[in-house]
């Protein structure tokens, strides 16, 4: 079963989002999480039997584990964003939060997915409220946000192309980050950059980098993605001419973010 099957419903989309959150955060599905997923789905299909709900969960799990999970989850997020009204999107996010809290811990990866969903569905205030009201224990590491994803893109542009990160590039990154969050002080912006640098220094896998690219694509509008590309061009130019490797990074990101234009260097 997949999204093209006539039997696939919006409840399957919701189940797939639940599974992505519950499994992707720690590569494990606890009994509490499975029970919470089933209970939350009853809200969206109240007349379904336990067996019918179980079948929906299993069908969504089959797509998640046997298909291109990332592509399928993105499609479900986009489909729900288009099909549901704002109040329904808020309700789904509240259910997602219940799944995330089911084991008593709100992991950084779960917080990040909540941020992605809130951004994609234009309900950031709801996510902020849910985080503030949560009784779950927050993971101690700093929350990884879209600002961290953006900072990571800046670092990749500034460092991976020539193996060096100059002071000019660092200042350019801080300046550009400040334009996204003008209320943050410079030391707060530097803290975001340090966290992203620490993560980059650990040698993230290709899939991890792709997750950040995907987060930006899903959470930001096309015009905002264009601004990030412009940020990256500014960073690439901050230490001189744009290299061929830097051009490759820019072209790959523009393709991944579905910006079908030729960037003037």
Which CATH number do you get for residue 19?
Answer: 1.10.3680.10
pLDDT beyond 90 at 11? yes
State mean pLDDT over 1-17.
82
State mean pLDDT over 208-230.
86
- What are the residues whose beta carbons fall under 8 Å from the beta carbon of 109, sequence distance 6 or more? 24, 25, 26, 144
Q: What is the pLDDT of residue 143?
A: 66
Among 5-19, 210-224, 249-263, the minimum mean pLDDT is found in 249-263
Residue 245 CA to residue 217 CA, distance in Å, equals 22
Q: How large a percentage of the chain has pLDDT more than 90?
A: 24
pLDDT beyond 60 at 225? yes
Tell me if 2 is assigned to some domain.
no
End-to-end CA distance of the chain: 45
Q: What is the pLDDT of residue 76?
A: 93
Statement to judge: residues 193 and 121 lie in one domain: no
pLDDT band at 162 (very low <50, low <70, confident <90, very high): low
Top-confidence residue, 235 or 240 = 235
Residue 242 CA to residue 235 CA, distance in Å, equals 9
Statement to judge: residues 217 and 110 lie in one domain: no
Statement to judge: residues 37 and 129 lie in one domain: yes
Among 137-141, 150-154, 175-179, 209-213, the minimum mean pLDDT is found in 137-141
Nearest to 38 by CA among 23, 49, 54: 54
Q: What is the pLDDT of residue 17?
A: 93
> For the chain, how many structural domains are there in total?
2
Task: List pLDDT tens digits, range 119-147.
Answer: 889 998 999 899 889 888 776 555 678 88
Residue 112 CA to residue 238 CA, distance in Å, equals 30
Statement to judge: residues 45 and 134 lie in one domain: yes
Task: List pLDDT tens digits, range 166-183.
Answer: 777 888 889 889 988 888
Q: What is the pLDDT of residue 161?
A: 61
Q: What is the pLDDT of residue 36?
A: 83
Tell me if 216 is assigned to some domain.
yes
Statement to judge: residues 214 and 120 lie in one domain: no
Statement to judge: residues 25 and 108 lie in one domain: yes
**DSSP alpha helices (H): ranges in the chain?**
10-24, 31-44, 50-66, 69-83, 86-101, 108-120, 124-133, 146-155, 167-180, 186-201, 206-219, 222-237, 244-256
- What are the residues whose beta carbons fall under 8 Å from the beta carbon of 260, sequence distance 6 or more? 254
Q: What is the pLDDT of residue 264?
A: 54
Top-confidence residue, 116 or 44 = 44
Residue 190 CA to residue 196 CA, distance in Å, equals 10
State mean pLDDT over 58-67.
85
The last residue of one of the domains, among 110, 138, 166, is 138
Q: What is the pLDDT of residue 101?
A: 84
pLDDT beyond 90 at 88? yes
Residue 196 burial (C-beta neighbours within 10 Å; 0-12, 13-18, 19+): buried
Among 143-152, 159-168, 235-244, the minimum mean pLDDT is found in 159-168
Q: Are 228 and 153 in contact (CB under 8 A)?
A: yes
Residue 202 CA to residue 206 CA, distance in Å, equals 12
State mean pLDDT over 180-191.
84
The last residue of one of the domains, among 79, 105, 138, is 138
Q: Are 235 and 154 in contact (CB under 8 A)?
A: yes
Domain that holds residue 36: 10-138
Q: What is the pTM of this model?
A: 0.55
DSSP-based three-state secondary structure for 138:
strand
Q: What is the pLDDT of residue 67?
A: 73
Residue 198 CA to residue 210 CA, distance in Å, equals 17
């Amino acid at each position: 079963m997949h999204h093209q099957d006539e039997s696939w419903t919006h409840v399957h989309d919701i189940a797939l989002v639940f599974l992505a959150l519950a499994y992707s955060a720690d590569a494990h599905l606890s009994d509490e999480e499975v029970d919470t997923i089933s209970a939350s789905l009853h809200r969206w299909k109240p007349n379904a039997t336990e067996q019918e709900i179980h079948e929906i969960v299993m069908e969504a799990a089959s797509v998640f584990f046997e298909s291109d999970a990332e592509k399928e989850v993105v499609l479900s997020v986009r489909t729900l964003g288009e099909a549901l009204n704002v109040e329904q999107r808020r309700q789904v996010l509240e259910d997602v939060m219940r799944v995330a809290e089911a084991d008593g811990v709100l992991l950084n990866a779960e917080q990040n997915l909540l941020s992605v969903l809130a951004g994609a569905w234009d309900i950031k205030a709801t996510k902020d409220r849910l985080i503030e009201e949560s009784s779950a224990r927050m993971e101690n590491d700093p929350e990884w946000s879209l600002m961290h994803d953006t900072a990571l893109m800046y670092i990749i542009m500034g460092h991976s192309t020539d193996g060096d990160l100059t002071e000019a590039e660092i200042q350019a990154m801080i300046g550009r980050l400040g334009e996204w969050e003008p209320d943050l002080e410079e030391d707060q912006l530097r803290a975001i950059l340090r966290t992203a640098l620490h993560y980059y220094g650990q040698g993230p896998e290709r899939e991890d980098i792709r997750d950040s690219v995907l987060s930006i694509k899903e959470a930001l509008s096309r015009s905002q993605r264009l601004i990030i590309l412009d940020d990256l061009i500014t960073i690439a130019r901050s230490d001189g001419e744009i290299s061929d490797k830097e051009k490759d990074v820019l072209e790959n990101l523009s393709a991944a973010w579905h910006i079908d234009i030729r960037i003037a260097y």
